[in-house]
A = this chain, B = another copy of it.
Amino acid sequence: MPFGALIDGRAIAGEIHQETARRAAQVKARGVQPCLVFIRAGEDAASRVYVGMKEKACAQLGFASRTQVLPATTREEDLLALLAGLNGDAAVHGILVQAPLPRHISESRIYGAVDPNKDVDGFHPVNVGKLMLGDTSGFRSCTPAGIHELLIRSGVVIEGAEVVILGRGNIVGKPMAAILVQKAKHAGATVTVCHSQTRDIAAHCRRADILIAAMGAAEFVKADMVKPGAVVIDVGVNRVPDAAVRGGSRLVGDVDFAGVRPKAGKITPNPGGVGPMTIALLMHNTMRAAERAAGLASPP
Contacts and interface: CB of A to CB of B under 8 A. Distances in A.
A298 B297 CA distance: 43
Interface stretch (A27-35, A77-85, A193-201): A193-201
A160 to B, nearest CB: 5
Interface in A157-208: 159-160, 162, 168, 170, 174-175, 177-178, 181-183, 188-199, 204
Contact of A178 (B132, B159, B183): B132
A232 B149 CA distance: 37
A61 to B, nearest CB: 29
17 contacts: A108-B133, A125-B126, A125-B128, A125-B129, A125-B130, A125-B133, A125-B138, A128-B129, A129-B129, A129-B130, A132-B170, A132-B175, A132-B178, A168-B183, A181-B193, A188-B195, A190-B192
Nearest to A138: B125
B129 A124 contact: yes
Contact of A129 (B132, B183, B191, B204): B132
Those 5 A-B pairs whose CB atoms lie nearest each other, nearest first:
A125-B129, A129-B129, A128-B129, A192-B192, A188-B197
Contact of A193 (B108, B159, B174, B191): B191
A14 interface: no
Q: How large is the interface on A (under 10, 10 to 19, 20 to 34, 35 or more residues)?
A: 35 or more
Stoichiometry, as copies per complex, reads 2
Given A129-B132, A174-B132, A190 B181 contact: no
A133 to B, nearest CB: 5
A199 B160 contact: yes
Interface string A127-148: 1111011110010000000000
Contacts of A127: 125, 129
Contact of A135 (B108, B135, B177): B108
Contacts of A159: 197
B197 A168 contact: no
Contact of A170 (B126, B133, B188, B198): B133
A130 to B, nearest CB: 5
Contacts of A108: 133, 135
Nearest to A183: B168
Nearest to A191: B193
Interface in A60-115: 108
Contact of A183 (B132, B189, B195, B204): B195
Contact of A199 (B138, B162, B192): B162
A81 to B, nearest CB: 22
Contacts of A170: 132-134
A126 B132 CA distance: 11
A264 B135 CA distance: 37
A204 B160 CA distance: 13
